[in-house]
Amino acid sequence: MDWQKRLEEALEFIESNLETSLPVETIAKAVYSSPFHFQRMFHMWSGITLGEYVRKRKLTLAAQELAVSSAKVVDVALKYGYDPPESFCKAFRKLHGVSPSAARKPGVSIKAFPRVSFEPHALGDAEVDYRIVEKEAFTVVGKSAELVCGQDGRTRQWFWGESRKDGTLDKLSSLSTETPLLGLTMSFEEEFTYMIAREADAASLDLAQGWSVQTIPAATWAIFPCSGPLPGAMQSGLRKIYKVWFPATEFEHAGLPEIEVYLPGDAQAEAYRCEAWIPILKKTNI
């Protein structure tokens, strides 16, 4: 089954079950995927995280129901999985800009978030260069933060900017000049842990008091070169991995941290080169 078809079937499953609990494990199982891999594929193909999509679709239907029926707010909140109802009011106001009770009033504007569509990638980008490497377990040291997906707020770009301003990048350089800077995505949801780090040896660990330390298990990695100015080169490289490479191969995400490898050089130059390291497994279900 190709990934466009899988995603379309998952979308039908989601839309048919918006009045029930929709944990990612249940959705991923319906299309024979691991939760981590499915979330990444959904985001890269649609441009929105799975959690945000489900929430916005539930709140769209909830607003429509409040606008045309006499159902109690508490009953609508529970119907769409919000317990306690106070969390429904908060989420509703954030999306629609008004309270659930105000949505009943004639002439009040509410939002409708549409179903996503999954467009195949352009054939002109069909070739992807990569290599596969087996790597033993290794340790990284650096600074981590809880971030959010999106264009604003606590994003990766924001965290890199803050780490440059507060001296974190300089401190990492003082630990080692032999290894490149790394960006590690530890999980993939709307809120996720991200780490700016370097690979650590015993000496750098001794110097890294108060820093975050993470051990990455032994794994098989697919390594993709990305060329061009940052952050665009890495962003477009990751999209291509998920929209072109994964659907064309017999691999899926292993669920370990993804690693952005930032090699020395001018990060704003057209010739700048970085790498995306993706942990992979052979597919068990096709």
Residues in the chain: 286
Whether 121 shows a pLDDT value over 70: the answer reads: no
So what's the pLDDT on residue 122?
52
Mean pLDDT of 139-145: 93
83 contacts: CB under 8 Å, gap ≥ 6? 77
Mean pLDDT of 129-145: 93
The model's pLDDT over 204-239, given as tens digits with 9 standing for 90+, comes to 777 667 788 999 999 999 999 999 999 999 999 998
Mean pLDDT of 147-151: 81
Distance of CA 194 to the CA centre of its chain: 11
The model's pLDDT over 236-267, given as tens digits with 9 standing for 90+, comes to 999 889 988 888 788 889 999 999 999 999 99
Count other Cβ atoms within 10 Å, centred on residue 103: 22
- The letter for the amino acid at 85 is P
Whether 70 shows a pLDDT value over 80: the answer reads: yes
Strand pairing class (191-199; 273-282): unpaired
Whether 268 shows a pLDDT value over 50: the answer reads: yes
So what's the pLDDT on residue 284?
62
Q: Is the pTM of this model over 0.75?
A: yes
Give dist(CA 64, CA 128) in Å, integer.
44
Mean pLDDT of 264-279: 95
- Going by pLDDT thresholds of 50, 70 and 90, the confidence category of residue 278 is very high
- Please state, for a pLDDT cut of 70, what percent of the chain lies above it: 93
Give dist(CA 31, CA 183) in Å, integer.
30
Parse the chain into domains and list their residue ranges.
3-104, 131-282
Q: State the fold for domain 131-282.
A: Multidrug-efflux Transporter 1 Regulator Bmrr; Chain A (3.20.80)
Selection from 54, 111, 52 nearest residue 80 by Cα: 54
Query: 131-282: same fold as 3-104?
Result: no
- The letter for the amino acid at 22 is L
Q: CA angle, 277 as apex, 128 and 44 as ends, to 5°?
A: 65
Give dist(CA 233, CA 44) in Å, integer.
15
Domain 3-104 has CATH 3.20.20.140: no
Mean pLDDT of 156-161: 93
